[in-house]
A and B are shown apart, each in its own frame.
Chain A
Amino acid sequence: MCIGIPMQIVEVYEDGISGVIEAGGTKKHCFFMLIDNPKVGDYVLVHAGNAISKLDEQEAKENLELIEQCLLGAKGAVE
């Protein structure tokens, strides 16, 4: 199952490779073998019960800036 929304790690089990993730009050088991150093509080993207990527607010912000830049180019072309 592919979860488009980022989910937050709320627990990392002792094995270090699994734990619990949460979004909007719903919690779910998750494996962390495919990300480095999973920590409580991290946001992750989850696929088929496995976190495949981490993200933070700064990256999301930069991503938005990238798109806005493209848009500026588009507006520039119009004017």
Chain B
Amino acid sequence: MTFDKITMDHGSGGKLTLELIENIFKANAGLDSAILGDIAFTTDSHSITPLFFRGGDIGKLSVSGTMNDLLCVGAKPMYLSSAFIMEEGFLISDLKKIVQSMLSEAKSANVEIVCGDTKVIESNKGFYVNTSAIGKIIRPIDGSKIKEGDKIIATGNIGEHGFAILNERENLQLTSHLASDCAELTGLILPIIESDLEIHWMRDPTRGGLAMCLNELCYKRDFGVEVFEELVPISQEVLSISEMLGIEPYYSANEGKMVIVVPPKDASKILDLLHKHPLGKNASLIGEITKDHPQKVLLNLSYGTKRLLSMPIVEKMPRIC
């Protein structure tokens, strides 16, 4: 598709974001972090409305998202930078809260925030945080070993962050206990990276949800993905909201989940490890790699039928009826 201007959809983490990365940045959209010998390096900018939400805030998000990106390539997070761009008039008390969240999340991941930057822009232009981080590669996970028959694991219930944020941002006036799942996953994932169990690919299914993540898994590859609807872990609360808004949980963002591709021999051992950690108690094997339909993600429905789980192209809007 050709565009002469950036649209909001270019930032939705879907197909258009991918095209921007490939066509304009001329970069490979393949991995969440760069693997540079023994070092993994990544960067992530964070903008979110509202800044404070149930389950977290932009500070927590800016650390956890970047930590999780390092874990994806098999690295142990080590050092983090933080850069703030904030509007004139921003409350110091809010800034303090955000910084406190960053510190406690960094502590939880056992990383140090070692450098930073501050810029102030005109009022009403927003508040943004960029974090960059380096990690030590325990063993590189770059997707090159993915094989037909490999199993796909989701580490927990999907869709929570997206719906929690949508509710608050759009003022849906739904009263719900649903909170963002925003969390750094070092405690959950590092033990697996450090074990002798094989991992072929890993990604956190953030913007664009599980659907985007699985489409990226087989993007321009010679294999496709089969997912089994009955196996995808989804909470009752997310299911209800999803029905109310007419948006499927597969397209709703996650900020504390991981999708892991593993060889069949290690799948159950990895699941056992995940289940031992509170953040992985709902981990489930959700699908597998297939050669039958390269580059396509098919959702197997409980009735024995299948359908495409398409790569999201625009942000889903609630339907009128």
Interface residues of A (CB under 8 A from B): 1-5, 20, 23-29, 47-48
Contacts and interface: CB of A to CB of B under 8 A. Distances in A.
B91 interface: no
B318 A1 contact: yes
Given A1-B320, A1-B321, A27 B174 contact: yes
Interface residues of B, number: 19
A55 to B, nearest CB: 16
B243 interface: yes
B108 to A, nearest CB: 27
Nearest to B245: A1
A26 B173 contact: no
Contact of A25 (B173, B237, B246): B237
A3 B243 CA distance: 6
Given A26-B240, A28-B244, A48 B320 contact: yes
Interface string B241-255: 101111000000000
A26 B175 contact: yes
B176 interface: yes
A29 B173 CA distance: 7
Given A24-B236, A26-B237, A48-B320, A1 B244 contact: yes
Contacts of B119: none
A57 B176 CA distance: 25
Most buried by A among B173, B240, B244, B245: B244
Contacts of A29: 173
Per DSSP, chain A at the interface is strand
A1 B174 CA distance: 13
A27 B12 CA distance: 28
Contact of A47 (B175, B240, B321): B321
Contacts of A25: 176-178, 236-237, 240
Nearest to A3: B244
Given A1-B321, A2-B319, A2-B321, A28 B175 contact: yes
Nearest to A29: B173
Nearest to A20: B175
A20 B246 CA distance: 20
Interface in B196-247: 236-237, 239-241, 243-246
A5 B243 contact: yes
Contact of A2 (B240, B241, B246): B246
Given A26-B240, A47-B321, A48-B320, A1 B246 contact: yes
Nearest to A46: B244
Given A1-B321, A2-B319, A48-B320, A24 B239 contact: yes
